[in-house]
Amino acid sequence: MKISSKLMFWIFITVLFMSGCAQKIKIKALQPAEVEEMAIKKKIAISDFKNDSYGLSGKIESQIAKHKLDQKRYFTVVSRKDLDKIMAEQKLQSSELMDETTATRVGKLIGAQAVINGEIASASGKSGRYKKDAKECLNYTKKGCTKWRYYKVTCHTTKASVSANINIVDVETGSIIYGDTISKEYSADSCKPIMLGYFSLGGSTEILSKGQALNRLTSAIASEFVYKLTPNYIYFEIALLDEIEIDNVTDRQEDIFEYALEYIKAGRMDKAESMLQELLDELDGRSYVVAYVYGVVQEAQGKLEHAKKAYTLADDLTMGPVEEINLALRRIDNSIDKKERAKRQISAK
């Protein structure tokens, strides 16, 4: 029987809609710091940066000092007062800390394991305005607009950019642990729509002044830099499978599975785990759907090795590839490796 193109279209739309409505669960995963050397350099000092009119060094110091992981502070920051005192005693200027040898000497005197120094390589900003023609319909008829009002509107613009060079010096060896150049730009026009990728600096649609833009750009640079120094949690969504695939399933077993999905939706992973474990036992481990969802619950609780076993079981039970299971198997080994690296960084002294 020939299927009409119109019917095929609606079948496609229905399948697309159903695939987009699959229940999903948000997972929290621990990621290691990009700058792994900082795992054993947890007492640090931040010097004043060169050409730092917008307080980048202070923003970095503040963010590092208040950063917590699992409610515990990750770094100890040497107070600026103690650093300034040593600098005065040594008759040094802040700019001299850009030299690795000087940074090492000062770092040892204040008991730091690493010194962060840097400079604002460039910073520019410009705010302006221009006039734009606009019109408004004053009278509509069936034939369209019969009377227009023409007028001018004032459009406000701001463009700004900041680039910073930031280094981390190992006090023990005098070498640079990490060096980076981070650049940020901001561009806004009150008469143009916000497009995808528009850097709104915090989600605001307001047009910032030149000073506001430069200030927020340096804050963004500080955030990006500090993020690289510490382990962090990331969040992502995983799609669940919501229908047991085997035939000889009782109504009670289907109810258990449905209730387990409801508990997952409610964030009750402990309850969902026990129900799915019971169901797996009753089904003699024959359902890849139940095994997969059980693995997702284990992953959501951070039990990654248990999750891997469940995903492997689910994969063994399938007759053909299942996208969700394929994604899980590719993801879980990477998650295990990153979690182990992050844990080593956290426990390092």
- Environment class of 127 (CB within 10 Å of its CB; exposed 0-12, middle 13-18, buried 19+): middle
Give the Cα-Cα-Cα angle 128, 134, 140 (nearest 5 degrees). Answer: 160
State the CB neighbour count (10 A cutoff) for residue 190.
15
- Indicate if the pLDDT at residue 334 is higher than 50: yes
Element (H, E) at 274: helix 269-282
Reported as a single tens digit per residue, the pLDDT across 214-258 is 999 999 999 999 999 999 999 999 999 999 999 989 999 999 999
- Environment class of 60 (CB within 10 Å of its CB; exposed 0-12, middle 13-18, buried 19+): buried
- Indicate if the pLDDT at residue 13 is higher than 60: no
pLDDT at 83: 87
- Displacement of CA 168 from its chain's centroid (Å): 23
> What is the residue-wise DSSP string for 319-332?
SS--HHHHHHHHHH
- Indicate if the pLDDT at residue 292 is higher than 70: yes
pLDDT at 205: 59
Which residues are registered as beta bridge partners of 176? 169
State the CB neighbour count (10 A cutoff) for residue 158.
21
Distance CA 346, CA 339 (A): 10
- Indicate if the pLDDT at residue 330 is higher than 80: yes
Alpha helices in 185-268 (DSSP H): 210-227, 251-265
Domains of the chain with bracketed CATH:
29-234 (3.40.50.10610), 240-347 (1.25.40.10)
Distance CA 54, CA 163 (A): 12
* Helix orientation angle between 304-317 and 288-300, rounded to the nearest 10 degrees: 170
- Indicate if the pLDDT at residue 315 is higher than 90: yes
State the CB neighbour count (10 A cutoff) for residue 293.
29
